[in-house]
Amino acid sequence: MVLPQAKGRGKGSRECRRCHTHRGIIRRYGLNLCRRCFYEIG
């Protein structure tokens, strides 16, 4: 029996909406930006 894999969870499912990296994501207030893009925009 093969168990279905859980999808859409964890760090791999979240990405920066500007540069699409998975590192250092800021999700607060629905920003979904990495630290680098947040710094560049701000």
- Domain contains 8: no
pTM: 0.70
Amino acid making up residue 11: K
- Domain contains 5: no
- Domain contains 18: yes
What sections of 1-42 are H helices per DSSP?
Answer: 35-41
What is the structure's pLDDT at 30? 94
Can you list the residues of the chain whose pLDDT is less than 50? none
**Structure tokens belonging to residue 16:** 């920066």
- CA angle 16/22/26 to nearest 5° reads 55
Q: Which domain holds residue 25?
A: 14-41
3-class secondary structure, 14: coil
Q: How many residues does the chain have?
A: 42
